């Protein structure tokens, strides 16, 4: 089982960014040391209705939605790593000890297209705060499923049923596992990932997400 180091791309990007220019707000691009500038941070809202077993930092929308979009599609993995700082207050509510942190994986085809998994970058500061390994390949996605955004609740559950499996069950057997993702709506994808970890022998599993959509798809 591979424990994720800071990727060469992420390390180079961090070094060059610090050398050439001040860090910038992930949402608006203003120079700032924190992930979000004061103007963008003030728009953050608490997460809507809780999901069993899943801790969520904020409601998805506004500046945070822009930041997540840029973190996923701007080709810079350090954006997602910086947004991971917004997850750190939630770690206080996670029972210790934690055996490992696992990102919700992308399918290999999407990983090749994007160049990095934003959920793994989000998970880096979480693993550091919890003092446990980050398993880059703790779970694998065995099917490249259609996006969940246009699906109703029942369709979401069916779409991701059985889509994940543990790559190396021995690494998580008997451990308390934390699974990290960027955005949840009904929680179907996160629950599928958590179920895969449980099926592989994890003693307990906690889900951790940066944001949650404020309401379901009208058909859901």
User: What are the residue ranges of helices labelled H in 21-168?
Assistant: 38-41, 62-73, 77-83, 108-114, 118-130, 153-160
| Domain spans of the chain, in order of start | 8-212
Please state the rounded mean pLDDT for residues 138-150: 74
Burial of residue 65 (CB within 10 Å: 0-12, 13-18, 19+) is middle
Here the tokens at position 105 are: 């994986």
pLDDT digits (tens, 9 = 90+) for 73-97: 999 999 999 999 999 999 999 999 9
Per-residue exposure over 142-156, b if at least 16 CB sit within 10 Å of its own CB, e if not: eeebeebeebeeebb
CATH architecture of 8-212: 3-Layer(aba) Sandwich (3.40)
User: What are the residue ranges of helices labelled H in 58-117?
Assistant: 62-73, 77-83, 108-114
Instruction: Answer yes or no: are the C-beta atoms of 119 and 77 closer than 8 Å.
Output: no
pTM of the model: 0.84
Determine the 3-state secondary structure of 181 from DSSP: strand
The single-letter DSSP state of residue 35 is: S
pLDDT digits (tens, 9 = 90+) for 189-215: 999 999 999 999 999 999 999 999 986
């Amino acid at each position: 089982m591979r424990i994720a180091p800071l990727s060469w791309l992420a390390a180079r990007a961090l070094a060059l960014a610090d050398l050439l220019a001040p860090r910038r707000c992930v949402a608006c691009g203003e120079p700032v040391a924190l992930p979000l500038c004061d103007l963008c941070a003030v728009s953050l809202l608490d997460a809507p209705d809780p999901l069993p077993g899943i801790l969520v930092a904020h409601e998805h929308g506004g500046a945070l939605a822009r930041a997540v979009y840029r973190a996923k599609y701007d080709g810079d993995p350090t954006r997602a790593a910086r947004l991971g700082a917004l997850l750190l207050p939630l770690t206080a509510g996670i029972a210790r000890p934690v055996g490992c942190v696992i990102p919700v994986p992308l399918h290999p085809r999407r990983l090749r297209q994007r160049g990095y998994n934003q959920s793994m970058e989000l998970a880096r500061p979480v693993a550091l705060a919890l003092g446990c390994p980050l398993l880059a390949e703790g779970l694998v996605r065995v099917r490249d499923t259609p996006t969940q955004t246009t699906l109703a609740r029942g369709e979401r559950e069916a779409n991701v049923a059985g889509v994940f499996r543990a790559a190396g069950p021995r690494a998580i057997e008997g451990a308390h596992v934390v699974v990290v993702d960027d955005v949840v709506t009904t929680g179907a994808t996160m629950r599928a990932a958590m179920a895969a970890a449980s099926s592989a022998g994890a003693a307990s599993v906690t889900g951790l997400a940066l944001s949650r959509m404020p309401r379901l798809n009208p058909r859901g």
